[in-house]
């Protein structure tokens, strides 16, 4: 079967990229080629591509901003669907409805423009809203579960479902979207009316903290490890003497030990080896098992 020809029945040619380097689509700037990378612009296009892949047993993988992702140096076989073309955001009173590919920064900006509070914690998180639901993204004491009202998903059988907050079984860096293989299409957030200047002040303050504490001048995938119960991953890594530790082009950030940065043309293998070294050293020294927060995909 000519996959390209079949995809062209659903999408325009410029929406289909062939042998596309994934390093162009991840915040880590790492990753080999995807056989096909497609960028749908409507929910209908997205669903059609997914149905085509499912029906023909073609592997497909969804990404948003690629901010929590480590892609193999060999790349990804099959079809990568990049959702950033679905980025509409609308506001109705204190409700925000956002398509899955809208960035958290864009949605937070909409909240600010409409003097809606509750989303300040997310304004500097680099991911998309679909990805944020997938992993219950959070920062500075806030999480997506605090503001989500309902979510429109596509299930594995190709059915559309509306899930309420309680249906999503939110936990730390988890929603049952992961377990059930749901695909988030649209998110409805419920915020509160607030004061524009106060919301802006909080956003500016949190973004200031982010700039001060995180290595934003290097490519990374954000926090590498989940927070172990009773500890902070960054502190354990620092106390194990690993700040500045390098393998190839990957390095434990000297600014925040919870981050691995692409310091000098790092490969996926460099990062995986460094993750393993960190896990081993921290376990050896403190008896704590560090679990990764970033997702590894590819061959």
Query: Do the strands 16-21 and 259-262 form a parallel or antiparallel pair, or are they unpaired?
Result: unpaired
Has this prediction a pTM greater than 0.85? yes
Residue-wise pLDDT for 164-174, tens only, equals 999 999 999 99
Question: Residue 293 catalytic?
Answer: yes
List the domains of the chain with CATH numbers: 3-85 (3.30.43.10), 89-199 (3.30.465.10), 215-297 (3.90.78.10)
- From the list 173, 175, 186, 253, the catalytic residue is 173
Residue-wise pLDDT for 201-257, tens only, equals 999 999 999 989 999 999 999 999 999 999 999 999 999 999 999 999 999 999 999
Question: Residue 169 catalytic?
Answer: no
| All residues at 6 or more sequence positions from 42 whose CB lies less than 8 Å from its CB, including other chains | 86
- From the list 87, 175, 223, 253, the catalytic residue is 223
Question: Residue 223 catalytic?
Answer: yes
Query: Do the strands 60-63 and 76-82 form a parallel or antiparallel pair, or are they unpaired?
Result: parallel
Q: Are 232 and 251 in contact (CB under 8 A)?
A: no
């Amino acid at each position: 079967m000519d996959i390209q020809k079949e995809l062209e029945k659903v999408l325009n040619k410029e929406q289909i990229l062939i042998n596309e380097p994934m390093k162009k689509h991840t915040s880590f700037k790492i990753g080999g080629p995807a056989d096909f990378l497609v960028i749908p612009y409507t929910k209908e296009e997205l669903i059609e591509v997914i149905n085509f892949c499912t029906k023909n047993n073609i592997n497909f993988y969804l990404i948003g901003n690629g901010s929590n992702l480590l892609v193999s140096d060999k790349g990804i076989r099959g079809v990568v669907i990049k959702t950033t073309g679905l980025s509409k955001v609308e506001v109705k009173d204190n409700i925000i409805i956002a398509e899955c590919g809208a960035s958290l920064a864009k949605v937070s900006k909409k909240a600010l423009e409409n003097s809606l509070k509750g989303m300040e914690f997310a304004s500097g998180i680099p991911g998309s809203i679909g990805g944020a639901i997938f992993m219950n993204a959070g920062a500075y004491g806030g999480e997506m579960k605090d503001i989500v009202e309902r979510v429109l998903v596509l299930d594995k059988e190709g059915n559309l479902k509306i899930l309420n907050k309680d249906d999503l079984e939110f936990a730390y860096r988890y929603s049952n979207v992961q377990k059930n293989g749901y695909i988030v299409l649209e998110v409805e957030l419920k915020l509160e009316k607030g004061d524009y200047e106060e919301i802006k002040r909080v956003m500016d303050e949190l973004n200031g903290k982010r700039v001060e504490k995180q290595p934003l001048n290097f490519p990374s995938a954000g926090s590498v490890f989940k927070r172990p119960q009773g500890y902070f991953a960054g502190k354990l890594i620092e106390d194990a003497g690993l700040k500045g530790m390098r393998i190839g082009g990957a390095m434990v950030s000297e600014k925040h030990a919870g981050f691995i940065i692409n310091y000098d043309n790092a490969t996926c293998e460099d990062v995986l080896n460094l993750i393993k070294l960190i896990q081993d050293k921290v376990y050896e020294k403190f008896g704590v098992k560090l679990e990764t927060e970033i997702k590894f995909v590819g061959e």
